Amino acid sequence: MQNQEPHLGLHLSARGYLLDLLIMNSDPSTNQNELREILLFLNNLITFDEINLRKEEAEEI
């Protein structure tokens, strides 16, 4: 069970960095539509990785 904690913490950290990126790039000169697409893509990658980790953990049980 302790092996799960670093993985879940990593996903939360990654999402935190995405939020920081959004906040730091919210000035008018940034293409907001492009930034939104990038953030959605990265969030989907994080979610996909998180789902795969949970599947692997369930298979180990």
One digit per residue, the tens of pLDDT, for the chain of length 61 reads 444 455 557 777 888 888 887 777 777 787 888 888 888 888 888 888 888 888 988 888 7
Angle between helices 4-24 and 32-60 (to 10 degrees): 180
Residue 6 confidence (pLDDT): 52
Residue 7 confidence (pLDDT): 58
Residues whose CB is less than 8 angstroms from the CB of residue 18 and which lie 6 or more positions away in sequence, other chains included = 39, 42, 43, 46
Q: What secondary structure does DSSP assign to 1-61, as a single string?
A: -TTHHHHHHHHHHHHHHHHHHHHHT-STTS-HHHHHHHHHHHHHHHHHHHHHHHHHHHHH-
